[in-house]
Amino acid sequence: MIDMRMDGRCALITGASKGIGYAAAANFLKAGASVAIVARRRDVLDEACAALGKQGKGKVVGIAADVAKAEDCARIFATAEKELGRVDVLVNNAGTHQNGPFEAATDEIWQADFDLKLFAAIRLSRAALPKMKERKWGRIINTLNSGAKWQRFGSAPTSVTRAAGMALTKVISNEGAPYKVLCNAVLVGLIQTDQWVRGYAKEQADGKVKRSFEEYLAEMAQRIPMNRVGTAEEFANMILFLASDAGSYVTGTAINVDGGMCPVV
């Protein structure tokens, strides 16, 4: 029998006011955990905390911060420890879809992407790992995308920063394994989140889209063997599995949760 309970555990999740991060937080709360969620906007964060408070009996803490800044990462972790008591699970989920031709990516674009996607994960994992090792239990889960394995045309800088995130996952897993600290990556393909709602709205405003949102998603789904876009909840289910004792012998791996879209295993 698979046990995915998280009673008494405490999780810190970045990029969690909406989408995948929010769904992961809801899953943890339903499984008995307490959560600290991070987002930049206080108003959206407060709305998310209010809604999440109905998902379980665990404590919900909202931390308004920018994970791309080193000083904010230090404050995030210190606040989470103070409010929750400890951090058993770290989910590095913050990120954006920054793609374009290699030659068009300026130094500023590259640096911003590395700060948001890679250095945030480095800084928060570096803060979490020592105490997880002391307690002989911990989980670090990095949300990446299929660009980490499959570098398509016009995918700079995301494919590079996500590939670095996959290497970081392996490095941490090797060092944490003797202490029962597990580190894995979960790779997203096309998941229906607020990001795609915003993309659809922008294309509508630009006059590029003359179809419904459902038709828009159906067109994207043509690239997926399962012929549908996934949900944030489906992706979050894998995060919960890896964080729970049900995933106690899985570490150092990068799992595609994409309906079969990525051609690389």
Tokens standing for residue 50:
């209010």
Of residues 219 and 80, which shows the higher confidence score?
Answer: 80
Question: What is the C-alpha separation between 250 and 215, in angstroms, rounded?
Answer: 38
Question: What is the C-alpha separation between 60 and 35, in angstroms, rounded?
Answer: 5
pLDDT, one tens digit per residue, over 50-60 is 999 999 999 99
Question: What is the C-alpha separation between 177 and 64, in angstroms, rounded?
Answer: 32
Query: How much is the pTM?
Result: 0.96
Considering the domain delimited by 10-190+229-257, tell me its CATH architecture: 3-Layer(aba) Sandwich (3.40)
Question: What is the C-alpha separation between 158 and 162, in angstroms, rounded?
Answer: 6
Confidence of residue 205 (pLDDT cuts 50, 70, 90): confident
What is the rounded end-to-end Cα distance, in angstroms, of the chain?
27
**pLDDT exceeding 90 applies to what percent of the chain?**
87
Confidence of residue 93 (pLDDT cuts 50, 70, 90): very high
Provide the mean pLDDT of the chain. 95
